[in-house]
Structure 1
Amino acid sequence: MRPGPVGFDPSRPHRCSPSVAVRAEAFGALVYHFGTRRLCFLKSPELVRIVQSLADFADVHSALDAAGVADARRNAYLRTLGGLADSGVIEPRSGARDCWESVA
């Protein structure tokens, strides 16, 4: 297994939480968690695509591979995704629902 943040297992399937809305912006996206009422920012369109596509892959590593994330940048993405998991934006997948995407 490749390294990642403690408590976040990138070898497991994940998804964007159904309690989250993602609004695309030029810089990336605004993410609002309805349960915690917290707003966060995804600072790149590539990260937005990865977060929104997690449910399409068997594990997080496969999502990063499909997005073409280079090995040199992989640990940074895993840390970021681990932080998103800690804040409830993404979660281990057990169902089919995905995050909301709002159109502005």
Structure 2
Amino acid sequence: MFDPGRPYRCSPQVALRPEPFGALVYHFGTRQLSFLKTTELFHVVRTLEQHEDVHAAVAGAGVPPGRRETYLRALAGLAGAGTIEPR
């Protein structure tokens, strides 16, 4: 279960390619291609490992407080897909 109070990282099986809309995500284990729909979400995923928990990564990416729940839901989905994982 996704816990934003814990530290996470981008899975080592995932490649991120920045794009103007956010990023392309390719998971080598599942061979699944997906998208990060905002540049802020790409920044959060790319910098997760540099923060003590997910909340700090979201705040560090400059996501306004009123939009943070939306990002936490998106990150929960990414955790469920194996794009990010606890570290």
Q: TM-score range by the shorter chain?
A: over 0.9
In 2, the alpha carbon distance for the partners of 1:63 and 1:30 equals 20
Q: CA deviation at 1:68?
A: 1.9
Cα offsets for 1:6-53 (capped at 9, x unmatched): x10000000000000011111111100000110000011111011000
- Matching residue of 1:73: 67
User: Which residue of 2 is the match for residue 49 of structure 1?
Assistant: 43
Larger radius of gyration: 1
Question: Are 2:30 and 1:33 equivalent residues in the alignment?
Answer: no
Q: Residue 8 in 1 paired to residue 8 in 2?
A: no
Which secondary structure does the structure 2 equivalent of 1:39 belong to?
A: strand
Matched, 1:84 2:53: no
Q: When the two structures are aligned, how many residues end up with a matched partner?
A: 87
Gaps in structure 1 of 5+ consecutive residues: 1-6, 94-104
| Structure whose residues are more often helix by fraction | 2
Say which SS state the counterpart of residue 31 (structure 1) adopts.
Answer: strand
TM norm structure 2:
0.96
Larger relative contact order (CA 8 Å, sep ≥ 6) = 1
Which amino acid in the other structure matches residue 69 of structure 1?
V
Gap runs ≥5 in structure 2: none
Partner-residue secondary structure (3-state), 1:21: strand
